[in-house]
Chain A
């Protein structure tokens, strides 16, 4: 299971890539493997304010639907149209072309996990 060490993670299996105050957000390889093929994603609108730890969208697979939790607090600045058009991209490239959205971070989230801590979390699951 791939867990890149340059990303931060949540307990709910989102990943965050910070570039300055911009956070790119997606779901992890572990999450996509658990969910199965993603067939639909519901994301907040550009401009929407999201709060760390709160549901801001849905990831729907053939078998189930799961909440997408905002990993950071801030305003949504971009959505990945490629994933909206072809949700299976989340499975094929969860850390690359399968990113979901970008958030302008207004508040740090001290609860984000480093890759080794996230690896330990998923090893228990």
Chain B
């Protein structure tokens, strides 16, 4: 079997910018352009420009689009206002997490489901399978669309400089159609960095023009192109889970401390029975934050010990570029998941003390 590598519509722009690429779920995407630490700092202090065209964009269209999504995912979408973005999950009947999603209500009968690149096909298939009894059309993940994100404290002023009006009225987790540098986009105040910022969904054919316009407009504000390496450290500092690490099919949203995305008041949705039980049951392990000293990072898969017994496992970890010390997300036994408790992480044979802390690790300064 040959698996074709997918290229972003921005591939040539990235090559010209000297990007180092990585394979991400079959997509050849920029890992970094120069230093990933500089890219991380740019997003925290100024602004960064990301190509996220590998994310799955699935259109749900039809008179029963809202009712269908209420059945197919854990949240209640039918009552959301047009323009609202909703963080939700799609699970198996078992309650196991298939993916975390952001769903945008584009119109009364029109939604866009944004899935992780690694799950775009399976999410598309599951949605179609679940749509049989509804008057709705579920598209394939759209390969004719692109996604560009502008993230960081200067993001709003950069877009304002491109003629986008009244950004103050576009609140966090809202979206609306807009024209940016002559390109029609869905402009959403969403992101995965812990900073203020925007995601701009556009036609793939317009991606280069949009990217180049934003890059030029942001240059004086210190905006630089940013790759997936810093996206990972940014989301980790913000305490945001990543599918395949903190979220898997073996876990329910309640294990991940994200039970709020499950609306059990809905009478019928996929996974309801098991999720209702999970809501009533103490999970055996919980997702926690760990904070350490020094510079050696605890990483995915490292064992967590306390009093000589194995009590958990690290799912993501890095030396925090912003904080300067190691941070990690981990699952630990519920009884041990106590804030301020000290645990030991086996960092390649060295038992290393880390403290359980509340998430997120990093809060952006409030304006």
Contacts and interface: CB of A to CB of B under 8 A. Distances in A.
Interface stretch (B29-37, B108-116, B240-248): B29-37
A62 B31 CA distance: 12
Contacts of A91: 35
A42 B318 CA distance: 16
A60 B232 contact: no
B348 interface: yes
B35 A60 contact: no
A65 interface: yes
Interface in B222-237: 229, 232-233
Main secondary structure on chain B at its contact with chain A?
mixed
B233 A62 contact: yes
Main secondary structure on chain A at its contact with chain B?
mixed
B136 interface: no
A63 B229 CA distance: 7
Contact of A36 (B229, B296, B297): B229
Contacts of B299: 64-65
Interface string A53-72: 00000101011110000000
Nearest to A87: B295
A37 interface: yes
Interface in A65-115: 65, 88, 91
B295 A62 contact: no
Contact of B319 (A33, A42, A58, A62): A62
B20 interface: yes
Contacts of A37: 35-37
Contacts of B318: 62-63
B297 A60 contact: yes
B229 A40 contact: no
A63 B233 CA distance: 9
Interface of A: 33, 36-37, 39-40, 42, 58, 60, 62-65, 88, 91
